[in-house]
Structure formats: structure tokens, C-alpha cells
Amino acid sequence: MGKVLALKGLSKRFGSVQANEAIDLDLNKGEVLALLGENGSGKTTLMNMLFGHYLPDTGSIDVADRQGSLQPLTLGHPQISLTKGIGMVHQHFTLAENLNALDNIVLGTEPLISFKRNTGSALKKLEKIMHETGLFAPLDVSVGKLSVGERQRIEILKALYRDVRILVLDEPTAVLTPQEADDLFDNINTMAKSGLSVIFISHKLREVLSFSQRIVVLRQGKKVGELVTNKTNESEIAHLMVGGGVKSAERETCTPGKAVLQLNQVSITGRSKRDSLFDQSLEARAHEILGIAGVSGNGQAALASLIAGLEVPENGSILIDSSEIEKPTPKKMIGAGVGRIPEDRHHEGIIGTMNLADNLIIEKLDDQEIQNFGILKRSKIKTNAAHLCKSYDVRGPGVDAEARLFSGGNIQKMILARVFEQNPKLILANQPTRGLDMGASAEVRRRLLDARKNGAAILLISEDLDEVLALSDRILVMHDGNLIPAETRDRAQIGLLMAGTAA
């Protein structure tokens, strides 16, 4: 197996952030390499230098030519990287929505005038690629009408159509159901067997261990490990990723108590099926985590707004502790004991331009502890904040600093502190660990399990199926505005429900 790529001493700095520091990385022909690291560890930056989007501060790249001999790559030119056989499928898709797949794929490879003339040969070439790789997508439908899985296949086909020999996929499974992800990796393996070299970026340990031959781990811009996949294990990799042990939360057995939240046949009609709820019922009990699995955009937002009191159901009823909440508002829901960890923590969770201390009391402004006849008790608010920051380990520029200046993980801890201090009966946790690093995620999960132990009912909405499986006592799968009980813990079975294709 010949080497097709050698990155040597690549560094890139953005202002005060050393995004990549002297990184070496080799890739062999037909190899599937996983590039693993937490958010912000420098994965995308490294691949953007390979693809020519960024010019490295130092270092060089050698790429094999068609004969297989390594040649220096001219850096900082995407068009050159592409002609040398390097293709990248980005985290955010770049297809033109109003064009069909065929036009999207061929666009830019041929002069516009000859383009129409050559559609026949383009189609032929594409059909051959589809048959060889198993990556099928409708070619004559405008891309705007296709699912994310189909769009991603088109992005990959687009790269393959350009005869790339090295394909980089940036977090390719973030938007896929477990089955779609497994199918994608099957296709990747087929491609690798026929000689394509693949680098896929991921922060999911499970898929990295299942689908790569080698793993390169980045942490804070540095390469901290290079492992042969079948000679390592989850804990070794996790250790490398975070630079220390991460305690995973213990889930003790709890006996569920009485129903805290009951939804009886509630409906919300959104703009599409995907922002709607159709006649849905559920029950969340004390001492219980009810997990809502599903690919985002299947009605989770409608469900969350309903429980937050941001939306009034068109029919049906919502009960908390067996009493009906009529015409719910956020205030009524908070009053009834609902605590909320919102999906968009930066916009819905905090007021960025308000200081940390004030953010910690915005849900209890009526409280006598905080104000007297409308006059805020400043020193109380500050002591409260100092105390909460200590017990929830919120770190950053201090309680007087604007909330927006804290990192995502610390903002989330701030929100947890505010929510849990109220001893809520029901906690709505919507994507509570999305975008957080492993340490902060473990902390959030531990807090949720503590709340469960102390008797709260928790409604956990998460697109991270591993998280739902690890935390939940019961699981419902959300698809197209419907909640389907998962009578199983089997990933594949749940995946079928997520895709809406279970029998």
C-alpha cells in the first residue's frame, strides 16, 4: 500500500488561537482514516489547509500523482488541490438548491456551452460511479426537494465525478440516522477497496472505532495520538481526546413515581409536518428520564415549545401534577414547576448582553429574596451568583461580566444552575450536550441523573442516540410529528423508527 498523502509540520494560527500546531499526518492508498477530536480541536482547519481553503503558516503537503509518486502540493489553492485529486465534503452543504443533482455535480467541470452537449456522457459516468459505490441519488430532482442523506450522497458523487483519489468528509454523520450512517460507511468501505483514500472527521467514538483502520486524535490544535483502530479501545481514545479521565455518570436504579407531566392528544400545526405535533400523548413520571430520540426537525421543536409554554396546543390538554394548565404561558409553566434547558442556549438560554449574575435570576424576578417592591437586592444577587458559580463550576470572566463572554460549556452550566436551583418537578432538557466538550457533557449528564434521583421527571430531547440510550428509562422516537414508543434498546431497531421505516 503506497502513501498517497503526507502532511508535514502544518501550523495555522487565527489571532490568539493556535488552531493547528506542527501536525504530521500520512494517508495510504485505500485507507479509511478517522480524524477525531473535540469541538475546536482543529480538525476542520487541518483539512481546509489540505483542500487549499487556508494557507498554512508553516509546513508542507505532499500528494501522490497518478503514478503514485509523492509531489509537493502548491498550498492555498482549492482548484489545484482538486486537480491533484483531493476532494472535500463540508459540514455544511454547498449545493445549489434550485438545480437538480446532475447539474450540481457537473457544474464547474465543463464550460457552460459544451455542458448541455455532454449531459449524456456525464450521466454515463455518474451511473458507473453509483453502481461501483452503491451511492444512489435521484439526479433529475431539484436538490431543494431532497433529504439531507440524499444531498450528502450528491456531494460525495460530485467529488467522485471529479476523479478524486483522496476524499475528506467533515462530520458526515451529524445529520444522518444510524442506518443512513451505517450505509454511508458501507459505501465508503466499498470505495476504499477500489483504491480511494478517505479521511473522515468525527467526534463520535463509536463510529470511529467501527469504521476506520487508523485514528488520528487532535487536542487543542496538536496531534496527541495516532492509533491502529483494532488495537485500541474507547477509553484509550477518550483519554487522548480530553487529556485526562472522564467519569461517565452512573445510572442508578430508580423506581418511577407518579406522573408529573401528561400530554393528552395535543396538536400543534406548524409550517410543515416537521414542526408539528399530531394528536400526541405522553407521560413523564417522577424519578424518570423519558428520552425523545429522533433526527432533529421531526417535531421536537414543537414539543419543546409546548412544554415551555411558548405555544398553546390547538387541542388536547397539558397536565402538571394532575392539574391542567389552561392556555399555557412560559410564566405559568415555570410557576407549575417546569425548568427548561433550551436547545439554543445562546439565544434562548441567556441574555448575552446582561451580566452573569442577572442572568441567574431572570426566572425569579418576582421572588422576595431578589427584590422588594421592585427594587433589586444587588448584593443578594451577587452572592447568589458567586455561590452558584462555585457549586456548578462555572468558569469565565466573573459574575459581573456579560454572559455572552463565557464559553458554550460554561453558559450551559449557568443555565443548569438557574434551572436546578428551583428544584423543578419537570425538567425539559433539549439537546443539553450539543456542541459541548466531553468534560462538560459528562457534567450535564451527571446533573440530570442527580435530578432524577431527587425525584424530578426529565424529558430529554436529544439527537444523540447514544446519549438517549445511556440516560433514559423509557424512550420515545419522534418522526414527522409523531411519538412512537421504542420497546427496545436495540440501536438498529430505534434507527428504523427514526427513519420512519419500521414495520
Alpha helix stretches (DSSP H) within 300-430? 300-308, 330-335, 356-359, 378-391, 408-420
Spell out, one character per residue from 17 to 56, where the chain touches ligand ADP: x when CB under 6 A holds, - when not.
Answer: x-x-----------------x-xxxxxxx-----------
Amino acid letter for position 273: K
Q: Which is nearer to Mg ion, 172 or 313 (CB)?
A: 172
How many CB atoms lie under 10 A from the CB of residue 307?
24
Grid cell of 354 as nine digits: 446582561
Measured from the CB atom, is 17 or 228 closer to ligand ADP? 17
Residue number with CB closer to ligand ADP (167 or 429): 167
Decide whether 142 or 220 has the Cβ nearer to ligand ADP. Answer: 220
Contacts of 101 by beta carbon, 8 Å cutoff, 6+ apart:
95, 137, 138, 139, 140, 141, 143, 146, 154, 157
Query: How far are the Cα atoms of 201, 265, 278, 308, 323 from residue 482, in angstroms, in the given order?
Result: 32, 11, 6, 19, 24
All three cell numbers of 6: 503526507
Q: Which does 39 bind (CB under 5 to 8 A by kind): ligand ADP, Mg ion, none?
A: ligand ADP
Least distance between ligand ADP and beta carbon 17 (Å): 5
Calpha distance 348→442 (Å, rounded): 22
> Nearer Cβ to Mg ion, position 200 or 211?
200
52 binds, among ligand ADP, Mg ion, none (CB under 5 to 8 A by kind): none
Query: Cα separation of 224 and 19, whole Å?
Result: 14
> 3-state DSSP call for residue 108?
coil
Question: Does 14 engage in binding with ligand ADP (CB under 6 A)?
Answer: yes
Cβ neighbour number for residue 71 with a 10 Å cutoff: 12
Q: How far is the CB of 218 from ligand ADP (least distance, A)?
A: 6
Query: Which residue, 17 or 401, has its beta carbon nearer to ligand ADP?
Result: 17
Neighbouring residues of 44: CB distance < 8 A, sequence distance ≥ 6: 91, 170, 201
Nearest to 276, CA basis, from 297, 261, 307, 296: 297
Say which entry of Mg ion, ligand ADP, none residue 42 contacts (CB below 5 to 8 A, set by partner kind). Answer: ligand ADP
CB of 44 to Mg ion, least distance (A): 3
Q: 345: closest CA among 466, 440, 479?
A: 440
Beta carbon nearer to Mg ion, 184 or 338: 184
Look at the block and give the residue holding cell 459505490: 133
Piece of 37-45, 65-73, 118-126, 365-373 that binds Mg ion (CB under 5 A) = 37-45
Distance CA(149)–CA(180), nearest Å, equals 7
Query: Based on CB atoms, which residue is closest to Mg ion, 42 or 225?
Result: 42
Which is closer to Mg ion, CB of 75 or CB of 174?
174
Among ligand ADP, Mg ion, none, the one that 136 touches (CB under a kind-dependent 5 to 8 A) is none
Part in contact with Mg ion (CB under 5 A); list of ranges 40-48, 123-131, 246-254, 386-394: 40-48
Q: What's the burial of 252, exposed, middle or buried (CB within 10 Å: 0-12/13-18/19+)?
A: exposed
Q: How far is the CB of 39 from ligand ADP (least distance, A)?
A: 5
What does 59 bind: Mg ion, ligand ADP, none (CB cut-off 5 to 8 Å by kind)? Answer: none
Using CB under 5 A, count the residues that bind Mg ion.
1
CB of 43: closest distance to Mg ion in angstroms? 5
Answer for which of 4, 19, 33, 44 binds Mg ion (CB under 5 A) is: 44
d(CA 80, CA 73): 8
| Binding letters toward ligand ADP, positions 51-90, x by CB under 6 A | ----------------------------------------
Q: Using CB under 5 A, which of the segments 42-50, 177-185, 419-427, 453-461 binds Mg ion?
A: 42-50
CB 36 within 8 A of CB 208: yes
Query: Is residue 441 close enough to count as binding ligand ADP by CB under 6 A?
Result: no
Q: How many residues interact with ligand ADP (rule CB under 6 A)? A: 11
Contacts of 182-189 with C-beta under 8 Å, sequence gap 24+, read: 183/134, 184/152, 184/153, 185/210, 185/211, 186/134, 187/133, 187/134, 187/135, 187/156, 188/32, 189/32
Pick between residue 44 and residue 298 the one whose CB is nearest to ligand ADP: 44
Q: Are 175 and 152 in contact (CB under 8 A)?
A: yes
- Asked if 188 and 213 touch (Cβ cutoff 8 Å), the reply is no
Q: Give the shortest CB-220-to-ligand ADP separation in angstroms.
A: 9
Q: What residue type is 477 in one-letter code?
A: V
Nearer Cβ to ligand ADP, position 42 or 56? 42
Query: By CB under 6 A, which span of 11-19, 25-33, 117-125, 136-144 interacts with ligand ADP?
Result: 11-19
Point out which residues bind Mg ion (CB under 5 A).
44
Point out which residues bind ligand ADP (CB under 6 A).
14, 17, 19, 37, 39-45
